[in-house]
Chains A and B, each alone.
Chain A
Amino acid sequence: MSNGKKMEKIDLLVTGVGGQGVVLASDIIGETALAAGFDVKKTDTLGMAQRGGSVVSHVRLAPKVWSPLIKDGSVDLILAFEKLEAARWSHFLRPGGITITNNYEQPPLSVSLGQEVYPTDDVIAAALRRQTDQVYFVDGTGRVKELGNVRTLNIFMLGCFSVFSPLEAATWRESITRRMPENIREINLTAFEMGRKEIESVRIGKS
């Protein structure tokens, strides 16, 4: 199993629920990759979904990128801020790809109304494992609650992703610093470091 650090290109899906900061996170990935010399394209498919709907960003880093949308079955890594959303996009994953999922459940209205059923953890994991063994769950929401600001979840998740990315930690910190207003800069940088540590411990736990 590769550790993913030597990738020359990454096709990435960042997904979650409207309001979780998916778009900002994928923006920061793009800016960090540009700073590291990659060609970058990113596109958000949200439609009207900023109102609590399902959100997915396609982010592509390579020496040269054509399509902004990633082809089905060729995503290298899914970074999911909510676990139903991880399962929803699992068919995009390439064989042997990586998934990092925030182990957090936000039930859609149809589930609250009893019309549909939220999938069990087993169902979600099985959907992700159709293509890969590299299925990682992190307790992002729990960790950032401990940190004292749930809105840093997206940067925590970026920390998790950064370990697999071909981009230096320092470059990540620079682009987070550039994007965050001063009053929340430090707490986001802390969330980023927490994410890095969290994914490392989850990976060690696995092997």
Chain B
Amino acid sequence: MMKKTLQILSGNEALALGAYHSGVQVAAAYPGTPSTEILENLARFKDIYAEWSTNEKVAMEVAMGAAYTGARAMASMKHVGLNVASDPFMAASYTGIIGGLVIVCADDPQIHSSQNEQDNRHYARMAKIPMLEPTDSQDGYDLMGYAFDISEEFDTPVLLRTTTRISHSKSVVDVSRKRVVKNPQPAFHFNQQKYVMLPVYALPRHALMEKRILKLAEYSETFPLNQITWGKRDLGIVTSGVAYQYAREVFPEASFLKLGMSWPLPEKMIKEFTAGVERLIVIEELDPFLEQNIKSMGIEVTGKEFIPLVGELNTQIVTDSSSGAGLLPESEKILDPASGLPRRPPLLCPGCPHTGIYFVLNSLGQRSKLLESKDNGPQEPKLIITGDIGCYTLGALPPLGVLDTTACMGAGIGQALGMERAGVKSKVVAIIGDSTFMHSGITGLVDAVYNQGHITILILDNRTTAMTGHQEHPGTGISAQGEETFAVDIESLVRGIGVNDVKVVNAFDLKALRNGVKDSLDRPEVSVIIVRGSCAMLIRKRANPRKVDIEKCTQCNYCLGLGCPAIQSVDGQVFIEPTLCAGDICTICEQLCPQKAISA
């Protein structure tokens, strides 16, 4: 027997190690919670190629190209990333592959750090490709091996779907496999019928996909991680993913069908399981994906009548909802959370380069009035600010309150143009980060220039992909594997697109920011301001924290409007917490204080 090598790994670490041991040669991703650490961990292995791609679509295409040459390849992304990548994703299902192609998507039930909680299991059904779902880190490690094998055996991309709770939980994994590379010398072979999706070639490929999914359904009947565990026969539970763990804990005596491969479904196995139990239920997070597909087999089953559709599950929710359905005795009364406690939402950090520009927008747009007045009917912001996805989304919250929209990566620029062209009287500003601009802002900007918009676009260039934990991007000039590479210069790029008015402004200079924005708002053209300042988390130096001179301070509390976590107030007196203040790199509060009461 092989020696057990036990480690505690997060789901993402296990997926990365599983892929590495399965011989992955090319891995591509765009950072996105909760998927980011998969590529971060893979990038540490110098005997593979790992890249941060410009966006998920490009990541998918890079992985696809590699798989066409017989290399094992992987693209990983968050659930909404698969929306971005869905075009090549569908194409990959048609063309199939040569080397194994695994697409990892990490869903985010409960919307811990996303804009929605879409259930990406539907993508497997739509693309007619197999889907694997780990229930813990060990499964993640093991399933990755199966994923590449299935991909190659059936000439199909494989979707490996994880969720936040799997990706970001740690559990014990036996990592005893060793890396094996199946095809060390990839080569591309001419085959237009397979790779050129002209109508004449694509239609026959669709027919092959239909045959393929039938063969995969047969394969799923014997898939080793589709497992029946017989317990008491009065209740049978079909489940997959993390819901399996909650269900096992809540129903320790029930019979279980755990689906490690949740598309296509093993119909015979499900029917055998159904025949062996008195009552069949499905416990699954989000949509009734398993439930509806089992129902379509003509099987009587319940699930979403009592298991919530919204939010992530846990043992408490499964217990309470099962009690409500009469599957468990009335659950014990549990304590309510202590009442009246102040909330502690996430904030922009001390020294954040977004704080200054947000303060300027707040005051120029008189946003505080918007935040304060309630129930006075519709309010038109003086300055409409379309937002995007990144740390700067946090500026939507009080006291800054500067965003009017947040939809998806890159959306703010198109939205801004749409509002302007709809004929609003207010000025419109779009805000986007440097990494997000590279991801999907560029095409929006091209559109605004081409269609002669009169909008101002602020590119908040903090020199990193901050929100997901500081990944490199095309603007930083460093690769995912730490090598120096070509840095795309945002300013030249913007000028190259045809923007005449491009300003680069220091993110920590309040006066320059205010003047820059005012100038841009008055211009009858697309104006871009690159607000440049490094993310404070990347700068270790913390010299000269600012102090409040109590003699001079009139307690106007103007500085508290910055929302800086270092600026606190106890019993009405403002003070700056020296262990939090970023000091010399920032000084925004010092520039702001009308009494000149803040200094080093």
Contact = CB atoms under 8 A, between A and B. Distances in A.
Interface of A: 17-18, 27, 30-31, 34, 39-54, 65-73, 84-85, 87-88, 90-91, 93, 107-114, 116-119, 123, 127, 130-131, 150
B171 interface: yes
Interface in B217-257: 242, 245-246, 248-249
Contacts of B579: 150
Contact of B338 (A73, A88, A110, A113): A88
A130 B334 CA distance: 11
A130 B171 contact: no
B342 interface: yes
A66 B252 CA distance: 10
B346 A52 contact: yes
B513 interface: no
A53 B113 CA distance: 13
Given A30-B170, A43-B169, A112-B568, A119 B346 contact: no
Contact of A43 (B168, B342, B563): B168
B245 A67 contact: yes
Interface residues of B, number: 53
Contact of A111 (B337, B342, B467): B342
Contacts of B245: 66-68
Given A67-B246, A84-B344, A113-B399, A27 B170 contact: yes
The listed residue with most B CB atoms (<10 A of its CB), out of A70, A88, A112, A114, is A112
Contacts, number: 158
The listed residue with most B CB atoms (<10 A of its CB), out of A17, A51, A111, A113, is A51
B25 to A, nearest CB: 30
Contacts of A93: 335
A41 B169 contact: yes
A114 B345 CA distance: 15
A51 B470 CA distance: 13
B170 A84 contact: no
A132 to B, nearest CB: 11
B349 interface: yes
A51 B348 contact: yes
Contacts of A114: 557, 569, 572
A122 to B, nearest CB: 12
Given A43-B168, A48-B346, A51-B391, A71 B332 contact: no
Given A34-B6, A40-B171, A91-B335, A71 B314 contact: yes
15 contacts: A34-B6, A34-B7, A41-B170, A42-B8, A43-B170, A48-B112, A50-B346, A52-B347, A52-B565, A53-B347, A68-B165, A70-B315, A71-B315, A88-B337, A108-B345
Given A67-B245, A112-B568, A53 B168 contact: no
A167 to B, nearest CB: 14
Nearest to B566: A52
A18 B346 contact: yes
B556 interface: no
Interface string B347-366: 11100000000000000000
Given A34-B6, A112-B560, A116-B342, A51 B349 contact: yes
Contacts of B375: none
A31 B8 CA distance: 7
B343 interface: yes
Contact of B335 (A43, A73, A88): A73
Contacts of B563: 109
A109 B565 contact: yes
B560 A113 contact: yes
Nearest to A43: B169
Contacts of B169: 41-43, 68
A66 B338 contact: no
Contact of B344 (A17, A39, A40, A43): A17
Judged by DSSP, the binding face of B is: loop
Contacts of B340: 117, 119, 123
B106 to A, nearest CB: 14
Contacts of A47: 112-113, 346
Contacts of B398: 113
B570 interface: yes
Contact of B336 (A18, A65, A91): A91
Contact of A119 (B341, B345, B467, B569): B341
Nearest to B467: A48
Nearest to B137: A41
A48 B394 contact: yes
B172 interface: yes
Nearest to B567: A112
B242 A68 contact: yes
B201 to A, nearest CB: 45
Interchain residue pairs A-B with the least CB separation, the first 6:
A116-B342, A53-B346, A127-B338, A43-B169, A68-B169, A47-B112
Contacts of A88: 337-338, 341, 344
Given A67-B249, A68-B245, A112-B567, A84 B341 contact: yes
A203 B391 CA distance: 43
B112 A68 contact: no
Contacts of A54: 343-344
A172 to B, nearest CB: 15
Contacts of A119: 340-342
Contacts of B399: 109, 113
Contact of B172 (A40, A87, A111, A150): A40
A112 B568 CA distance: 5
B319 interface: yes
Interface in B129-175: 136, 165, 168-172
A45 B312 CA distance: 12
Given A34-B8, A47-B113, A65 B344 contact: no
Nearest to A37: B6
B316 interface: yes
Interface string B381-417: 0000000000100100011000000000000000000
A40 B569 contact: no
A41 to B, nearest CB: 5
Interface in B1-46: 6-8
A47 to B, nearest CB: 4
Given A48-B394, A51-B391, A52-B565, A117 B342 contact: yes
B173 to A, nearest CB: 10
A110 B568 CA distance: 10
A91 B399 CA distance: 30
A66 B112 CA distance: 22
Interface in B460-488: 467
A73 B334 contact: yes
A44 B168 contact: yes
A69 B165 contact: yes
Contacts of A84: 341-342, 344
Given A31-B8, A69-B165, A73-B332, A42 B344 contact: no
Interface string B544-571: 0000000000000100100101011110
A54 B113 CA distance: 14
A68 to B, nearest CB: 4
Given A54-B343, A70-B315, A71-B315, 11 more contacts: A27-B170, A42-B8, A43-B165, A48-B394, A48-B467, A52-B349, A67-B246, A73-B334, A109-B347, A112-B569, A131-B335
